[in-house]
Amino acid sequence: MNPVKFLYERKSLSLALILSWMTLIFFMSSIPNEDMPKTAGSYTSLLHIPEYMVLGFLCAPLMGDRKYNTVLTLSFCLFYGATDELHQTFVAGRTASFLDWAYDGLGGLLGALFSTRWGGSNAA
């Protein structure tokens, strides 16, 4: 079975997965900078793309049969990304970054496009 159609038909499961993923993003953003694993420096910003691609992929089926499914999904991902960046300003050693927020949006857009295309139409 097509996973997008599977999620579209099971909205409560889709919502549970979205909330779980958002919770994971929140907890990852709560890690103080000094406790972060040492990675490839500035390339850590690029990790926002797959992180929000998953969120966009999960959100698109919940947006339903709407003409503006991708726009709504992107808007939601951008909003959550902005709140995530704001949240990071309260975490030791972390800051908000416009670039990270832009990568959040790019990931959300790619996830939404992938979900709507895989689902067979722009209506998931």
If one compares 10 and 50, the residue with the highest pLDDT of the two is 50
Report the alpha-carbon distance of residue 124 to residue 91 in Å, rounded: 37
Mean pLDDT, range 8-24, rounded to an integer: 92
Q: Predicted confidence band at 123 (pLDDT cuts at 50, 70, 90)?
A: very low
Greatest pairwise CA separation for the chain in angstroms: 45
| Closest to 102 in 3D by CA, of 44, 58, 49, 41 | 49
Residue 111, judged by CB atoms within 10 A of its CB (0-12, 13-18, 19+), counts as buried
State pTM to two decimals: 0.87
In 1-124, alpha helices (H): 3-9, 11-29, 48-63, 69-88, 98-118
What letter represents residue 79's amino acid?
Answer: F
pLDDT of residue 118: 78
